[in-house]
Every structure is written in C-alpha cells, then in structure tokens.
Amino acid sequence: MIRSVVMLLPLLLAGIAHAEPSSDARVSGYHGLGDELRALQDDDFANPGMLWVDRGLRAWETPAGAEGRSCRDCHGNPESLRGLAARLPRWNAEMERLEDLDGLLRSCISERQRAAPPEFESDALLALATLVAHQSRGLPLAVDVDGPARAAFEAGRASFQRRRGQLDLSCADCHDRYAGARLRGETISAGMINGFPLYRLTWETLGSRQRMIRWCNQAVRAEPFEPDSADALALELYLAWRARGLALESPAIRR
C-alpha cells in the first residue's frame, strides 16, 4: 500500500489537481470503509480489535509490581476511565510536557503500580490502551488546546503543514488537499484519529496513533519522530483537535 501510494503520487498530484480543498471535512475513516468492513467494526464478536480489549481486561485484573496490586485494586472498573481517552493528549503542568494515553499508562505503571512499564507498541501496552480507549467509545474527541498547551498545539499544526521527506509532501497535502481523491480504487481519507488504537488490515494487527504517524512519515520517506518526543506529541495533539467532535471508535477497523 505504501509503495502503491508513493509510486502513484506524482500522477495523483498532476491528475486530480482539481480536488477541492477540504480543510474542515471532519469525516471519520469509517465512512470510507465498504459495507463489509463497517459491519466488522460494528460487531464486537467479529471485530479483531476486541481481542486487545479482552487482553487488556485480563491485564487489568492481574496483580503486578512491588506491592502486587492490580489496576482494579486502585481504579475499580475500567469504566472509571471513561472520557479520558477522548481528551488526550493533554498538558501535564508539573512535567511541562504533553502526555498521551501510552505515556500516562506507562507512568502509572512505573510510578504507582511500581512495575516495569511495557514498551511502546508492545502487545501489553496496546492491550491496556485499547481497553481504556474503548471505555470512551462514542464520546466526541475534545482536547484542550488553550492555555499552556497552546504552543505545542501550534507546533503540531505547523508540523502538519510542513513538507517533509524525499517526496516533499506534507500531511496536509494528502489528508486535506487530496482527501476523498481516489487512488487505484482506494480513497485517501481525511486522516482522522478517532479510531485508535485500531486494527489495520495492512498491518494485520492493531496499532497506535503514533504507529500510524510513523507509517505516513515512511510513506513520504521522512525521518520518523522519536517515540514520546515533543514533536510526536505536538502532532498528535493537533490531530486530536482536527478530529474534534468525532466519536471515538476504538477499536476501529481500517484498511
């Protein structure tokens, strides 16, 4: 898929140059799926992403760390975290930095549960992140971009517009200007992040928002961001704002 998009891009840019700019087209990638994939996402028994929710639930109940405490011992039911994922990333005033769901989970596990935090993109972290995000399914994304988060938000917005990589393309080139354009039978989506963590058929597995950003950077042969870096989180904040009001769908299905 990366290859086909990249190889066809010059054609695309030349050929569909009349696509209307759609800078405020907040349309979930769900609408670009065919009927079958939409049905797969909607069916909790068939949706492969639900396996990560189940794994997350098992981890939630499992004692770990210095005092042998489970997530449940301190947090009760996972539903107690409903709403959280829809508001991330958010500014941590004490640390003077943004935090996303993966970062929050890792810091709670290391500082409060006092266990070794799972690696970024590991199945263990994806399972907990999907469990927590799933609690907010149906809630509109609503991140706070005012006050101390403002500078990071503006940096994320600039990053989205900045051309990068050997192909010299910005995120906006594909997801704003050519969103909705057809490319070899595929439609380029508006690049909304309301489905994450989500199951991508291309990956044959579930992945995080940051994995998607890395994948798109690779598509234009740009250097990926360092995990959990200020640059990565600023772009994630902007993407969350850009998808504001869209219902969280995790675990969504995408091609």
CA distance 76 to 128: 15
- Residues 227-246 touching ligand HEC, rule: CB under 6 A, are 235, 239
On the CB side of 147, how many CA atoms lie within 13 Å of its CA? 9
216 binds ligand HEC (CB under 6 A): yes
Buried b (16+ CB within 10 A) or exposed e, 25-44: eeebbbebbeeebeebbeee
Q: Is the peptide bond before 197 cis (omega within 30 degrees of 0)?
A: yes
Query: Which helix or strand (DSSP H or E) is residue 2 part of?
Result: helix 2-15
Joined together, the tokens standing for residue 130 give 């999907």
Cβ of residue 28: shortest distance to ligand HEC, in angstroms?
A: 7
Number of H helices, E strands in the chain: 10, 7
Among 37, 217, 228, 231, indicate the residue that binds ligand HEC (CB under 6 A). Answer: 217
State whether the Cα torsion 195-200-203-204 is positive or negative. positive
One residue of 213, 234, 237, 240 binding ligand HEC per CB under 6 A: 213
Question: Per-residue string for binding with ligand HEC, 79-118, x by CB under 6 A?
Answer: --x--x-------------------xx--xx--xx-----
* Shortest distance in whole angstroms from residue 83 CB to ligand HEC: 8
CB of 148 to ligand HEC, least distance (A): 16
Q: Which of residues 37-76 bind ligand HEC (CB under 6 A)?
A: 69, 71, 73-75
- 116-175 binders of ligand HEC (CB under 6 A): 128, 132, 169, 171, 173-175
Structure tokens at 60: 């939630």
Catalytic residue list contains 216: yes
Binding mask 169-208 for ligand HEC (x = CB under 6 A): x-x-xxx------------xx-xxx-x-------------
206 membership: H or E segment, kind and range? strand 205-207
The count of chain residues that interact with ligand HEC, using the rule CB under 6 A, is 38
Indicate the DSSP class of residue 169.
B
CA distance 172 to 177: 6
Contacts of 145 (CB under 8 A, 6+ apart): 153, 237, 241
Would you name the residues annotated as active-site residues? 216
List of residues contacting ligand HEC (CB under 6 A) = 5, 9, 29, 69, 71, 73-75, 81, 84, 104-105, 108-109, 112-113, 128, 132, 169, 171, 173-175, 188-189, 191-193, 195, 212-213, 216-217, 219-220, 235, 239, 254
